[in-house]
A = this chain, B = another copy of it.
Amino acid sequence: MEKSDGRVEVVGYWISAYVHRVRWALKLKGVDYKYTEEDIFNKTPLLSHLNPVHGKVPVLIHHGNPLPESAVIIEYIDDVWTHDPLLPQDPILRAQARFWAKFLDQKVITSTALALYSEGEDQERAVKLAVEYLDRIEEQLQLQGNIFFGGEKIGYVDLVMGFVAYILPVWQEVASVNILDLSRFPAIAAWTVNFLEHPVIKTEYLPHRDEIFSFYSRRRQELLPLCGSQTHLGKKVWSFLLS
């Protein structure tokens, strides 16, 4: 186990759910770190230096090594600070956790973001997709019958799923859609309460609901003309890339 001695740094952006999950992981491990805010809409040369490939946050810096990609960072944190593991130790449970984390990132986030950034028929399709993907999550939570995906303790999948607890509800308001239907997703609803009540999540920085609302209202206005497509071909492309 490595002593946390200030050599850990996170470069992030205040509203990014990808950044929050990394900060939660470090907090759960009890690792102190320096947090540096980067304006992703007016990127500094620092970010291109730290993450030349994608130019995105979060970036974790440890012993001078910059490491991008939240999923990769969380696995790294679990590999370096091995106490209080975030991933299960059993290989098959470990693999399943990786599977669901990927599913959340690739399917749930993509479809819910498309629901936020579209309108009309496109939006209806995105909402339908998002609900079907969340059915899988609901099914898993019910099947496992634990408080969290990680069992009694918060784990890797819970951190990746975090945005469902505090960002998705606001996206719904911004885009006037209903995805998180309580009667359809009772286990996700219970998970949300437990997640937000967890001592680490509760005390770690999270943006206020009103800040989330006004940020994504603005983003929706900007991105709507780009993402919503009423054209036949546009829809086909959309469906192909979501498949």
Complex interface: chain B residues within 8 A of A215 (CB):
none
**Docked-complex contact B103 and A53, CB < 8 angstroms:** yes
**Docked-complex contact B234 and A237, CB < 8 angstroms:** yes
Q: Mark A195-209, 1 if CB is under 8 A from B, else 0.
A: 000000000000000
Complex interface: chain B residues within 8 A of A83 (CB):
none
* CA–CA, A237 and B227, complex, Å: 6
Which of A16-24, A32-40, A61-69, A157-165 is near enough to bind chain B? A61-69
Q: Assuming A72-B98, A76-B92, A92-B62, is B240 touching A234 (CB within 8 A)?
A: no
The reply on A127 being an interface residue by CB < 8 A is: no
**Docked-complex contact A76 and B91, CB < 8 angstroms:** yes
Complex interface: chain B residues within 8 A of A226 (CB):
236-237, 240
The reply on A241 being an interface residue by CB < 8 A is: yes
Q: Assuming A76-B92, A94-B79, is B67 touching A99 (CB within 8 A)?
A: yes
Q: Assuming A227-B240, A229-B234, is B69 touching A94 (CB within 8 A)?
A: no
* The residue from B72, B76, B95, B96 contacting A102, defined by CB atoms under 8 A apart: B72
Could you give 27 example pairs across A and B, Cβ below 8 Å?
A53-B99, A53-B136, A62-B92, A67-B92, A67-B96, A68-B99, A69-B99, A69-B102, A71-B98, A72-B95, A72-B99, A72-B102, A73-B95, A75-B95, A75-B98, A76-B92, A79-B91, A79-B94, A80-B91, A223-B240, A225-B236, A226-B236, A227-B236, A229-B236, A230-B233, A237-B241, A241-B241
